[in-house]
Amino acid sequence: MITSTSNDKVKRLTQLQASSRARREAGLFVTEGIRIIREIPGDQIQEIYCSESFYKKNKDVVEALPVKPVLLSDAVFKKVADTKTPQGILAVACQSHYELEDILNKKKLTLLVMENLQNPGNLGTLLRTGEAADITGVILSRDSVDIYNPKVIRGSMGAFLRVPFVYTDDLPDTLQKLKEKGVKTFATHLDAKKNCYEIKYPEKMALLIGNEGNGLSDVITEFADHKILIPMAGKVESLNAAVAASVLIYEIYRQKLGF
């Protein structure tokens, strides 16, 4: 059992929790909780860490996992956990890699494209909402928050494992590829002439979602085939970013379901 935070494995865990760069360079991520760990395909799991007391209480469950656990004292586990009241188990697993071509190689496409999305809670929520509303893939500009950020993982309720995604260094170039594949793009815009309920969404489409504070950049807005707005009564000037995107995602899904 590891009882010191100066242990190399512990230092490595702390680094993987805190730094998206460390995660990217190692091609790994860390996730906490037995439920989500069970959802990770066995061959993706590299290491499992348990607190002493979690192991004692859940020995059978832990031993049934595909990788033998490393035990940490409760104090050390609390140090490496990202949550305030950790359950007592975490896994280090390999990041998934998808190619844009795989994501686009489908007859029907409902894509989310995120430009410079910053809030990990928002990305987690949008992955969760997106999976529930049958989104087929997510494209993120490189300056968006890391999908393997512990807060994204928690907020997504496992959707990060199931929704294919790619980061792109050149979003305009990627959008150009989408155009060539016949994907129609939609962006919310205050000057839009149509609202989101007046549109019949096509079989291949992408919803462009901008930064929480600044919205989409002019360059990316220019790429949009259609500008739409969400109708609003009252005096509020905008909706919460995750709410606005979720309302649109579900309107698209409603139409897809034929209601």
Residue (142 or 254) nearer to its own copies, CB: 254
> What is the closest distance, in whole angstroms, from the C-beta atom of residue 38 to its own copies in the complex?
12
Site map (CB under 8 A) of its own copies, residues 56-95, x = contact: ----------------------------------------
The torsion defined by the Cα of 124, 161, 94 and 73, in degrees rounded to 10, comes to: 70
Tokens representing 177 are 């590829």
Please pick, from the candidates 102, 198, 203, 222, the single residue that binds its own copies as defined by CB under 8 A.
198
Residue (68 or 235) nearer to its own copies, CB: 235
> What is the closest distance, in whole angstroms, from the C-beta atom of residue 249 to its own copies in the complex?
9
Tell me if 209 contacts its own copies by CB under 8 A. no
Backbone angles phi, psi at 143, to 5 degrees: -85, 5
Residue (69 or 130) nearer to its own copies, CB: 130
Please pick, from the candidates 54, 55, 167, 253, the single residue that binds its own copies as defined by CB under 8 A.
253
Site map (CB under 8 A) of its own copies, residues 223-252, x = contact: -------xxxxxxxxxxx-xx--xx--xx-
> What is the closest distance, in whole angstroms, from the C-beta atom of residue 239 to its own copies in the complex?
6
Please pick, from the candidates 61, 70, 132, 192, the single residue that binds its own copies as defined by CB under 8 A.
132
Residues 6+ apart with CB under 8 A from 14: 5, 79, 80
Site map (CB under 8 A) of its own copies, residues 146-175, x = contact: ---------x-xxx--xx------------
> What is the closest distance, in whole angstroms, from the C-beta atom of residue 148 to its own copies in the complex?
18
State the Cα–Cα distance between residues 125 and 153, nearest whole angstrom: 10
Q: Which residues bind its own copies (CB under 8 A)?
A: 125, 128-129, 131-134, 155, 157-159, 162-163, 195, 197-198, 230-240, 242-243, 246-247, 250-251, 253-254, 257, 259
